[in-house]
Amino acid sequence: MERRRILVPAALGYGANGKAPSIPPNSRLVFDLRPVQLVKEDLVVGTGKEAQPGSRVLVAYEGRLENGTIFDASSMHPDMKPWFQLKKGTHESPIPGWILGVPGMKVGGKRELWIPYHLAYGVDGAGRLIPPRANLIFTVELLEVE
């Protein structure tokens, strides 16, 4: 989900002429792309109560950097119940990518969220675990909705 690759055959690109000085004749073009918006992918569709904007939710989650490094997970905090309020401005508010990415899930569901840095911790990052401008990947399982 983090990156997509588009391959364009020479005949559909610059063909036999190329594009001097950087693209030789008969060159295949390769574009590596990364989404700039929130991407949601349901891994398991739940059947229980649906989370709405503003809902208070209990989740199990794992957060990763694009290189696969796990920076946080609910399993790392066994004594805490990870409740989040899906709106800005409360002490239980998550990052904006969660506020936009969790509503619509149903209890029992599991979703992967690819969150661009501007919907995560921004240009500054967070502490020593999340670098500046870090895009984040979360796997979120919805356990309960209030």
Q: Is residue 33 predicted with pLDDT exceeding 80?
A: no
Strands (DSSP E) contained in 19-108 are 29-33, 39-44, 56-65, 70-73, 83-85
Query: Do residues 105 and 86 lie in contact, with contact meaning Cβ atoms separated by under 8 Å?
Result: no
State the maximum Cα–Cα separation within the chain, in Å, rounded to a whole number: 64
Question: pLDDT grade, residue 116 (50/70/90)?
Answer: very high
Tell me the mean pLDDT in the region 83-95: 91
Domain locations in the chain as residue ranges: 4-33, 39-145
Lowest average pLDDT, out of 5-9, 71-75, 95-99, 113-117, goes to 5-9
The span from the first CA to the last CA of the chain, in angstroms, equals 30
Higher pLDDT, 18 or 50: 50
Q: What is the pLDDT of residue 49?
A: 98
Which fold, 39-145?
A: Chitinase A; domain 3 (3.10.50)
Q: Is residue 98 predicted with pLDDT exceeding 80?
A: yes
Q: What is the pLDDT of residue 3?
A: 66
Query: Do residues 110 and 62 lie in contact, with contact meaning Cβ atoms separated by under 8 Å?
Result: no
